């Protein structure tokens, strides 16, 4: 389809908004905020204004299918045409998982991509919406770029948009808007082909087709439904119905698409046989709104994201994606130190970065690491520049196919060899921002008094606000989380999250190491009880938030 009539584009006058500062994963607000006149347009134009090579370039565009996704894509296409973009490659129906978008940016050597997602946040007309820009390596934009975009949003006075009708998003094919080409592609196909290069599909298929093997993948009515159905059910021949809640719905079926023990309740019920079917599946997994997070479970067994990263690292030699070996491992600072122990045994570096996948990008591009992960259910490698939920699931299936053991046996043998890092995260959500900031400010003011202080048999050796010196580009990122480190290796971490849209979320991370195999069967919260109490003594969470228990515990 071709619109041959020349389009006269007149700038649209606008007024700046004062709340368009991107967080760790772009700009996230309530749908109602994005639907305000010129709100989305201002932010998109600010991105375009910060891209000097935009005219004639190629951009990738897609999102997680949440409410307002389709309308936003039509607006962005019209703005891209008015800003003289050369080509836009778009997922059919406006759908692209975040890792699939990262892959397309790299495959087509695009200038970058606009991803419409609020990740694991709730959807629907009263839910959240988000937008972020990924750069040419396929990864999230660095702080330098997002800061420039924010400065642009504060002074923007006009934007450019072509006065043309929208295009049919559900029809594969090529279109032209003025001089801009649009290609609508199957959103799954390129990603599925990439996965075939990463894993031994033949061995995984043999595992899945055993009479005594059953898997369950919970797509949570989010973007990975079509990806999981094609890869797990069509390519790997899992029993039809192995992918549950596999339809991509604008409101995610009214659920919170965050793959953890609280929100992936249907999967948890199946894996712990709460549905009383007589047995639980051998392997369970879930992914989130935009497909970049994962949760791994065995029958009656939950694998923490930190342990998952460490187990994948220890078994990387079994996975074709790592046929040339592990170069190094990256983990975010709040993530447990389980992966560090694997790296030490393998004789490779383990880098501790701030939270945010963009910090792994430099290490991946420089070839310093080819495996990385965060405690927030994110795992990835150098195949893309985003965390990748289905990729992590396939890692585990490949390991299971090679080792011919259960998920629980593999994890327990890992603990026996490396020791167990007892680890938990407590989320206190929707705290009034003023209260949350006071808590953090008080902690910062008291840091100098904490070093050397004893709590029972533990003594604090380090109390600081984590700063990261990037070994690749020498940039320094400060204020990345308050660390309380003890002489026995235990850790307490406090952070305010940048992924929510209402109030503030305080994240508390607790960790201690246990070498004694006889002590590996403790309940996690009981094993960490004394440290949880110390965290309360240090921070007075109850006093500042009024919350006597976390919203979510993982």
Query: For residue range 128-161, what is the model confidence (pLDDT) as tens digits?
Result: 999 999 999 999 998 899 999 999 999 999 999 9
- SS3 category, 366: coil
Q: Are strands 458-465 and 482-486 parallel, antiparallel or unpaired?
A: antiparallel
pTM: 0.94
pLDDT value of residue 287: 97
The stretch 395-401 carries a mean pLDDT of 98
pLDDT digits (tens, 9 = 90+) for 483-510: 999 999 999 999 998 555 567 999 999 9
CA torsion 518-519-523-528 (nearest 10°) is 180
Residue 172 burial by CB count (10 A; 0-12/13-18/19+): exposed, middle or buried? Answer: exposed
**What is the second-level CATH architecture of the domain 190-418?**
3-Layer(aba) Sandwich (3.40)
**Residue 403's pLDDT is what?**
98
**Averaged pLDDT for residues 363-370:** 97
**Token pair recorded at residue 220:** 């949570």
**pLDDT over 90, % of the chain:** 89
Choose the catalytic residue: 46, 72, 117, 119. 119
Average pLDDT (271-280) is 77
Residue from 459, 464, 461, 430 nearest 534 by CA: 459
How far is it, in rounded angstroms, from Cα 532 to Cα 510? Answer: 7
Average pLDDT over residues 278-288: 91
Tokens representing 43?
């932010």
> pLDDT (tens digit, 9 = 90+) per residue, 159-176?
999 988 888 999 999 999
**What pLDDT is stored for residue 283 in this prediction?**
98
Q: What average pLDDT is seen over the chain?
A: 94
The tens digit of pLDDT for each residue in 48-107 reads 999 989 999 999 999 999 999 999 999 999 999 999 999 999 999 999 999 999 999 999
Q: How far apart are CA 309 and CA 107, in angstroms?
A: 26
On the question of pLDDT at 274 being above 90, the answer is no
Q: Which two tokens stand for residue 356?
A: 């945010």
Q: What is the pLDDT of residue 4?
A: 42
Q: Which of 119-123, 278-282, 296-300 has the lowest mean pLDDT?
A: 278-282
Which residues make beta-bridge pairs with 484?
463, 492
Look at residue 311 and tell me whether its pLDDT is greater than 50.
yes
Per-residue pLDDT band at 7 (split at 50, 70, 90): low
Domain locations in the chain as residue ranges: 2-187, 190-418, 420-553
Please give the pLDDT value at position 279: 78
Q: Do residues 447 and 494 make contact, with C-beta atoms less than 8 angstroms apart?
A: no
CB 461 within 8 A of CB 471: no
The mean-pLDDT minimum among 22-36, 271-285, 374-388 falls in 271-285
Residue 491 zone, left/alpha/beta (φ > 0; ψ -120 to 50; rest): beta
Q: Kindly report the CATH class assigned to 2-187.
A: alpha beta
Token pair for residue 92? 């059919």
**pLDDT above 80: residue 6:** no
For residues 342-362, give the mean pLDDT. 95
Q: Which long-range contacts (CB under 8 A, 24 or more apart) does 457-464 make?
A: 457/488, 458/486, 458/487, 458/488, 458/490, 458/534, 459/486, 459/487, 460/484, 460/485, 460/486, 460/487, 461/485, 461/486, 461/487
* Residue 498: predicted pLDDT: 58
Round to whole Å and give the CA distance between 238 and 210. Answer: 10
User: Does residue 5 carry a pLDDT above 60?
Assistant: no
DSSP assignment of 34-64, as one string?
HTSTTHHHHHHHHHHHT-TT-TT-EEEEEE-
Share of the chain above pLDDT 70, in %: 97
pLDDT band per the 50, 70, 90 thresholds, residue 3: very low
Average pLDDT over residues 361-367: 96
Task: Check residue 344 and give its pLDDT.
Answer: 98
Whole-number Å distance between alpha carbons of 106 and 169: 23
No. of helices (H) and no. of strands (E), the chain: 18, 28
Please say whether the dihedral angle defined by the alpha carbons of residues 497, 501, 504 and 509, taken in this order, is positive or negative. negative
Least confident span in 225-229, 256-260, 384-388: 256-260
Tallying the residues shown for the chain, one arrives at 554
> Is it true that 2-187 and 420-553 share their CATH fold?
no
Q: Spelled out in words, what is the top-level CATH class assigned to the domain 420-553?
A: alpha beta
Give the pLDDT score at 1: 47
In the prediction, which pLDDT does 206 show?
A: 97
Is 119 a catalytic site residue?
Answer: yes
3-state secondary structure of 291: coil
Tens digit of pLDDT for each residue in 403-436?
999 999 999 999 999 999 999 999 999 899 999 9
Work out the average pLDDT over 277-283. 84
């Amino acid at each position: 389809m071709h619109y041959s009539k020349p389009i006269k584009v007149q700038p649209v006058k606008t007024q700046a908004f004062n709340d368009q500062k991107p967080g760790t994963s772009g700009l996230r607000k309530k749908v109602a905020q994005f639907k305000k006149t010129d709100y989305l347009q201002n932010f998109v134009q600010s991105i375009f204004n910060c891209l000097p090579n935009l005219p004639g370039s190629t951009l990738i565009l897609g999102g997680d299918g949440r409410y307002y996704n389709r309308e936003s894509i039509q607006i962005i296409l019209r703005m891209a045409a008015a800003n003289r973009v050369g080509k836009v490659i778009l997922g059919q129906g406006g759908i692209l998982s975040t890792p699939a978008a990262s892959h397309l940016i790299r495959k087509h050597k695009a200038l970058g991509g606009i991803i419409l997602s609020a990740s694991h946040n709730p959807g629907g007309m009263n839910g959240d919406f988000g937008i972020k820009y990924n750069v040419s390596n396929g990864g999230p934009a660095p702080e330098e770029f997002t800061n420039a975009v924010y400065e642009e949003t504060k002074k923007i006075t006009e934007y450019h948009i072509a006065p043309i009708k929208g295009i049919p998003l559900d029809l594969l094919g090529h279109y032209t808007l003025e001089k801009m080409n649009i290609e609508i592609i199957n959103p799954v196909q390129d990603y599925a082909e990439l996965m075939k290069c990463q894993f031994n599909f033949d061995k995984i298929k043999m595992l899945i087709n055993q009479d005594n093997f059953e898997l369950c993948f919970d797509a949570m009515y989010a973007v990975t439904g079509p990806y999981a159905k094609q890869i797990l059910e069509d390519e790997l021949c899992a029993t039809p119905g192995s992918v549950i809640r596999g339809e991509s719905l604008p409101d995610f079926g009214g659920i919170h698409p965050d793959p953890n023990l609280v929100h992936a309740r249907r999967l948890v019920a199946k894996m712990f046989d709460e549905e009383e079917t007589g047995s639980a599946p051998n392997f369970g997994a879930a992914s989130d709104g935009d497909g970049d997070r994962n949760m791994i479970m065995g029958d009656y067994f939950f694998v923490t994201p930190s342990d998952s990263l460490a187990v994948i690292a220890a078994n990387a030699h079994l996975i074709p994606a790592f046929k040339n070996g592990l170069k190094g491992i990256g983990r975010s600072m709040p993530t447990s130190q389980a992966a560090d122990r694997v790296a030490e045994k393998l004789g490779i570096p383990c880098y501790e970065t701030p939270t945010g996948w963009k910090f792994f990008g430099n290490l991946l591009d420089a070839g310093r690491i080819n495996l990385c992960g965060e405690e927030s259910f994110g795992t990835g490698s150098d195949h893309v520049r985003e965390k990748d939920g289905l990729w992590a699931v396939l890692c585990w299936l490949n390991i299971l196919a090679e080792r011919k053991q259960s998920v629980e046996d593999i994890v327990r043998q890992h603990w026996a060899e490396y020791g167990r890092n007892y680890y938990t995260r407590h989320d206190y959500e929707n705290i009034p921002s003023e209260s949350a900031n006071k808590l953090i400010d008080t902690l910062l003011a008291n840091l100098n008094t904490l070093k050397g202080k004893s709590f029972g048999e533990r003594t604090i050796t380090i109390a600081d606000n984590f700063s990261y010196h990037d070994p690749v580009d020498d940039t320094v990122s400060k204020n990345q989380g308050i660390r309380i480190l003890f002489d026995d290796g235990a850790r307490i971490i406090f952070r305010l999250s940048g992924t929510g849209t209402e109030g503030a979320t305080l994240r508390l991370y607790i960790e201690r190491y246990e070498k004694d195999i006889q002590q590996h069967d403790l309940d996690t919260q009981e094993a960490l009880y004394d440290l949880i109490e110390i965290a309360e003594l240090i921070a007075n969470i109850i006093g500042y938030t009024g919350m006597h228990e976390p919203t979510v515990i993982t």
